[in-house]
Structure 1
């Protein structure tokens, strides 16, 4: 892909909660919540294509762009052994993920449907708990391996999703710079709108920008219900202009509550769409709409439909 990222020019959609959708709605087992293992079988690749296609059809129907996020959130080096893989095997699955998205782009892209292939990079550990926090240098060194694999496979950009702390987010941004790809950083926030480390979203954005010479193309919020962070975005400010995307959870539950649930709380898609609309009315710079845990095509459709007519959609 050449030229500026389309999501910096106009509205684009992305998918919902890939792993929760596959687990709860399709009955597909994902060891360690790692959807990347599906790339290892014909049936798994078919399931992923079946998952992405309706989202692309939605974007085509509504006249938006689309970000195809690779199923590589849990596919960095530390996950090879838990998944029963050797590192070269995990690397090949990362490559296969990008290749699958390129095939989908070839199938769906048109002059009016711009599609971005994004290499998804998740946290080294848990997406809810920062655990032992690395230094920025350690995080850069760790994530550089996957960043290089995704870049060599042809990703247009990298997305650091469910970042729980500033140092790891900064490290992935630095790794992206090392491989020459734009990067988006998406923070997980708790019910109080702060990162799991206690940092405010404002301070976290500022800290990553300072540590990386403002390298990220933009920031997002994900893995939290709008009720948990809407107050943070209740007033336009200089720093909120760096927030360009929302990928919210369907559930109002806290991360601690979600961790012990045995049934999916998929919330109310229509209500979720209205909550997104309220956020965009206050923060019209937001151009990336998708979902996270508990969301699926119903939620992203409701969000997109609710936001139609806003200036962002034009």
Structure 2
């Protein structure tokens, strides 16, 4: 068996001195004012997000067939409120399933058929399939350094990428200082996705079927949660491939860091929802919109979120101290 060629060093390269700029064709959107992006996982949350003032909405539904309905409703809302300055440049984006397997091209074709304004890219197969479409990188691309971000924007045509969920505030600050802040979206409110699995809880516990062919797709109409050893109920969401994502039951917020992130040039902030009712979607987005406009402080919003969320909130990874090399965090 032939041995591969050994790596050859071509000289000393000082990566620390590297300066990054926007791509030559500049597909990066330049947003002067802070942009609040609502990530919804239920059709009922769509109108609530629109009414709360979100001009950019990302949809991640269990059944991609519902994307057509969501896009059609969004177009109706756009036409109704077209005269409002706050609704100019509004857009709706949809997310294909996080995992792609050979033979699942039909799912991606179904996603594209909704004719959304753009698509969330979540793996390398999505980069190829949506090569000719507007696209942005989701958190699963795990962008944690400026070289990765530059590659996705320069070589793959992404407009922006989501900063990795593994970064704490110090590491996120370093990322925004090393590359143009307009490259990144930062998630400031979410129920952290804890793990993604092949096993379908909906099929296993709510039906006598074995897979999508005979389960009746209870995931389209039912909500499911897993109860852990301390009694916490962790919400579960399915996707078109019958894979499940388990979310933390407590929302984590980066509200206290928003002012600092704005000072570093960040302008695109994501607020994510799982099973929240419409009234909570409106209320949460309203509070974060006021935060971005400087009407309330991050500390005020932190305290309010602890009161209005039954389970409270956490600072999550963003507030975590850096781990020492060689030690587990």
5+ residue gaps in structure 2?
Answer: 1-26, 196-224, 236-248, 296-329
Q: Does the CA contact (< 8 Å) of 2:28 and 2:160 recur in 1?
A: no
Give 1:68 shift.
2.5
Q: Would you say the 8 A contact 1:66–1:116 is kept in 2?
A: yes
CA contact (8 A) 1:248 1:293 kept: no
| Structure with more helix by fraction | 1
Task: Give the match for residue 152 of structure 2.
Answer: 208
CA contact (8 A) 1:157 1:183 kept: yes
Alignment correspondent of 2:51: 57
Residue 121 of structure 1: CA displacement? 2.1
* CA offset digits 1:69-128 (Å, max 9, x no partner): 2343x44xxxxxxxxxxxxxx6x4332232232223223333511220212223027xxx
SS at match of 1:177: coil
Deviation readout 1:197-247 (Å, 9 max, x if unpaired): xx745454345346xx2410111247x4xx953222213334353533223
The equivalent position to 2:136 in structure 1, one of 168, 173, 184, is 184
Task: Find the residue that maps to 1:104 and give its secondary structure.
Answer: helix
Return the offset for 1:156.
1.1
Aligned in 2, Cα 1:105/1:96: closer, same or farther, shift over 3 Å?
A: same
Aligned-residue RMSD, C-alpha: 4.0
Name the residue aligned to 2:57: 68
Partner residue, 2:75:
102
1:280 aligns with 2:262: yes
Partner of 2:289: 304
Report 1:284-295 matches (<5 A): 284-292=265-273
| Equivalent residue number for residue 233 of structure 2 | 262
Does the C-alpha gap of structure 1 residues 147 and 267 become closer, same or farther in structure 2, counting only changes over 3 Å? closer
SS in 2 for 1:217: coil
- Is contact 1:58-1:301 (8 Å) kept? yes
Deviation of 1:157 after TM superposition, in Å, equals 1.0
Structure 2 CA distance, aligned partners of 1:309 and 1:95? 36
Distance 2:193 2:97 in 1: 20
TM-score (norm 1): 0.54
TM-score by length of 2: 0.52
Residue of structure 2 equivalent to 1:122? 97
Q: Cα 1:175–1:254, aligned 2, differ >3 Å: closer, same or farther?
A: closer
Could you tell me which residue of structure 2 aligns to residue 82 of structure 1? none
Matched with 1:159 is 120
- Whether the 8 Å contact between 1:13 and 1:288 is mirrored in structure 2 is yes
Bigger Cα Rg: 2
Q: How many residues get paired?
A: 217
Query: Where in structure 1 are there 5+ consecutive unaligned residues?
Result: 20-34, 36-47, 60-64, 76-89, 126-133, 190-194
